[in-house]
Amino acid sequence: MTGRPPAGAGEDDPGAAAARLTGRRVIGRRPLSGAVAEVTLDDGRVVVVKRGDGPEATRAEAAGLRWLAEADAVRVPAVHGHDRHWLVTDRVPQGRPSPQAAVRFGRALAALHAAGAPAFGAPPPGGPREAYIGLAPMRNVPGADWPQWYAEHRVLPYLRRAVDDGTLLPAEAAVVERALERLPGFAGPAEPPARLHGDLWNGNVLWGADGEVRLIDPAAHGGHRETDLAMLHLFGCPHLDRVLEGYQEVAPLADGWSDRIGLHQLFPLLVHTVLFGRGYAAQAVAAARGFGR
């Protein structure tokens, strides 16, 4: 895990970064969090300015947003500029979740996944191999066999880190390792690589004031489409049943998909174990037991 870049050249404030990257004069700003601010430009636009948490974080996020936008499916904020430290995107005026918007979101998510990727683990065009999921490093290494790739490049790196950090006990790690041995027989029918958002928890799903969903903060890569859906289940999503209804209308899921939710949640649960400590370790082990019997 890496922190924010050290102070130095390029470490200006959000307003200065917005002016430099958009070429517009800044007439207002409002902090949203330690690393994010809303900035009003002199042409009336309000943009979101975000400071990256690692040397390739803004490049990875910008490339991911553009790759998702190219699918012409789920909406994402437009990218107005980025450099090593800062990313400038559209602001999304917030609305309220509705069942109708949830169905449309499900249909659009299915279309996004169907846009595909060159391989499992493929990064977005122009995106770095060494990317991020939240604050955790995430390596995008292409592979052809999903069970092998998922185990090697999505589960095991965080499992090893959690053990090294002492947040997961060796005996608990052994439960996960035994489950991974059974992964090829539990993964369901083979599917082509999907174009994933990659970090699709509820906080990255914005319900717009215009009744349409936008997705933010992607960890985009080629993966299994059930992984995005498992993330929505992990931390909840308004009207999730309607999201799934819309998804299934466009791209029905393979039989037994709901039994594999824990398998796909193992990756984000181990990421959370690494980032936030022991509280997520028990959930990760329980998920492994669920498909490792």
Q: What is the DSSP letter of 75?
A: B
Helix (H, G, I), strand (E, B), or coil: what is residue 171? Answer: helix
Residue whose structure tokens are 């509280």: 279
CA distance linking residue 198 with residue 196, whole number of Å: 5
Separation of CA 221 from chain center: 9
Cα distances (angstroms) measured from residue 248 to each of 70, 162, 192, 208: 22, 36, 17, 23
Residue with tokens 């319900």: 207
Active site residues: 199
Per the DSSP assignment, residues forming a β-bridge with 12 are none
Burial readout 107-135 (b: 16 or more C-beta within 10 A, e: otherwise): bbbbbbbeeebebbbbbbeebbebbbbbb
